Amino acid sequence: MVGTILWALIGGAIIGMLGKWVAPGDRDIPLWATVLCGVGGVFLGNWLYVDVFDFKADTARIDWWRHIWQVAVAAILVIGAAAVLGRRKRA
């Protein structure tokens, strides 16, 4: 149980940072919000990939398309969080 939570946070942090890197805009959000967007991107992106669009979930190797979906959803969540929590980046 603790390992699952730890992996969700680590994966969420990585996916959140990638989503923040992909997302356009000049607003910055705190690290905790980036991690939450990443965790949401992992769960929502996976749900969209497998359940909504019915793509194959079982692959023998790394499923890059699934990760692309997760990063895209995290980027959308980062844009939404930046609109609510964001402050302008300093030049």
> CA–CA separation, 61 vs 56, rounded Å?
12
Q: What is the pLDDT of residue 90?
A: 66
Q: Model-level pTM?
A: 0.83
Give the closest residue to 69 by CA, choosing from 36, 33, 44: 44
CA 62 from chain centre, in angstroms, equals 17
User: Could you list the residue range(s) of the whole structural domain that residue 44 is in?
Assistant: 2-88
Taking the C-alpha atoms of residue 55 and residue 79, their distance in angstroms, rounded to an integer, is 26
Contact 85, 30 (CB under 8 A): yes
Mean pLDDT of the chain: 86
Tally of domains within the chain: 1
pLDDT at 58 over 80: no
**Could you tell me if 73 and 44 are in contact, meaning their C-beta atoms sit under 8 angstroms apart?**
yes
